[in-house]
């Protein structure tokens, strides 16, 4: 299951369609089939994490073989661009995407299955 911060409104709507009217949801709560902690309030009005230009850049990175962006310590000023073999293939300034608590998994962000 996903952490609730990573669930999009579209994913929630798709999940609701799959399970039908299971009587477990209301306006302030998120489906128990989708999150680690059921019945937790979530603000669905939060703006998207990345804008269109950032998503286009993430798509471009995916096309050249990148699979995640990561830092190795809190003092890094750049993300390391990691390919599917876990090799660093370049860097990009953290300011482009903002600092994340964990590596940015491109397959997850782009809605890809990760298999090729």
Instruction: Domain ranges for the chain, please list them.
Output: 1-46, 52-110
From residue 75, give the alpha-carbon distance in Å to each of 6, 12, 94.
25, 36, 11
For the segment 74-108, what is each residue's pLDDT rounded down to a tens digit?
A: 788 999 999 999 999 999 999 898 888 789 999 98
Q: Name the DSSP letter for residue 44.
A: T
Q: What is the mean pLDDT of the chain?
A: 75
- Other CB atoms within 10 A of residue 23 CB: 6
Whose tokens are 């669930």? That residue is 7
- Distance between CA 116 and CA 113 in Å, rounded? 8
Please, is 68 exposed, middle or buried when counting C-beta atoms within 10 Å of its C-beta (0-12, 13-18, 19+)?
A: buried
């Amino acid at each position: 299951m996903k952490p609730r911060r990573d669930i999009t409104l579209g994913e929630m709507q798709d999940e609701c369609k799959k399970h039908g009217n299971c009587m477990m949801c209301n306006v302030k709560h998120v489906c128990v089939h989708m999150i680690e902690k059921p019945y937790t309030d979530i603000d669905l009005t939060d703006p998207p994490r990345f804008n269109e230009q950032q998503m286009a850049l993430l798509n471009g990175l995916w096309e050249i073989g990148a699979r995640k962006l990561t830092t190795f310590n809190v003092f890094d000023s750049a993300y390391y661009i990691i390919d599917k073999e876990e090799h660093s293939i370049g860097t990009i300034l953290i300011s482009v995407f903002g600092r994340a608590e964990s590596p940015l998994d491109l397959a997850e962000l782009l809605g890809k299955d990760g298999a090729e």
